[in-house]
């Protein structure tokens, strides 16, 4: 069985590797519990859509240039792991973190934002009742956050951060947006041209 201390040791030894930044995960996706996985699936979907690959072994990166990793890190059950994740994030080559947590004490995003600062953290409140807890940061301690459950947008925001440095990510974001725009245009034309009744009967 993996102990929290094993995971902390792993993060610290990853940090000491001084790995080539092209081989480290670019986006870290963390969540307070594996019960958050469904709510966080949007982040993985968006990253997959943008051509990011999942890195499951820090020492053995996938061929794709842009990658993400994921861990469960609980601010309350495993505070030491949260500290280790935030403190090693820069040395492990992460450029941006997407952090989700639920319940009324959803502290993982805001605490990670403070610990990993100045690495940007995009917070995802897993439920409506988590929103205040995620976004309520004091002046001088920033977090960027999306609305409850909007993990897809959180990952797009993370990619936007990366795009300032990587033209390739910018190109993928623009392509994604053009696809979205084209989809709305096609739907709009069909609604108009078929008429409401026929559209409802045949579209999709």
Interface positions with ligand AIR (CB under 6 A): 31-33, 35-36, 74-77, 101-103, 105-106, 126
Phi and psi for 185 in degrees, rounded to 5?
-60, -45
Handedness of CA 165, 170, 172, 177 (dihedral sign): positive
Please report, in angstroms and rounded to a whole number, the separation of the first and last CA atoms in the chain.
47
User: Least separation, in Å, of the C-beta of 135 and ligand AIR?
Assistant: 15
68 close to 96: Cβ distance less than 8 angstroms: no
Residue closer to ligand AIR (CB basis): 106 or 159: 106
User: Least separation, in Å, of the C-beta of 60 and ligand AIR?
Assistant: 29
Q: How far apart are CA 120 and CA 162, in angstroms?
A: 11
User: Least separation, in Å, of the C-beta of 201 and ligand AIR?
Assistant: 41
Residue closer to ligand AIR (CB basis): 126 or 169: 126
Residue closer to ligand AIR (CB basis): 23 or 127: 127
Residue closer to ligand AIR (CB basis): 75 or 169: 75
Q: How far apart are CA 196 and CA 191, in angstroms?
A: 6
User: Least separation, in Å, of the C-beta of 92 and ligand AIR?
Assistant: 22
């Amino acid at each position: 069985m993996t102990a929290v201390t094993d995971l902390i040791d792993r993060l610290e030894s990853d940090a000491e590797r001084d790995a080539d930044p092209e081989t480290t995960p670019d986006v870290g996706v963390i969540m307070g519990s594996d019960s958050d996985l469904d709510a966080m699936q949007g982040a993985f979907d968006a990253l997959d859509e943008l051509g990011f690959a999942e890195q499951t072994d820090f020492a053995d990166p996938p061929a794709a240039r842009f990658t993400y990793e994921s861990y469960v890190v609980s601010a309350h059950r495993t505070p030491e792991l949260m500290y280790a994740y935030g403190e090693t994030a820069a040395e492990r080559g992460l450029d941006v973190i997407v952090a989700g947590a639920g319940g009324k004490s959803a502290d993982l995003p805001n605490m990670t934002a403070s610990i990993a600062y100045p690495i940007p953290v995009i917070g995802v409140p897993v439920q409506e009742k988590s929103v205040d807890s995620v976004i309520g940061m004091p002046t001088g301690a920033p977090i960027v956050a999306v609305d409850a459950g909007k993990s897809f947008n959180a990952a797009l925001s993370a990619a936007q951060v990366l795009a300032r440095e990587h033209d390739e990510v910018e190109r993928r974001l623009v392509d994604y947006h053009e696809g979205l725009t084209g989809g709305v245009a096609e739907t709009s034309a069909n609604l108009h041209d078929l008429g409401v009744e026929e559209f409802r009967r045949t579209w999709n």
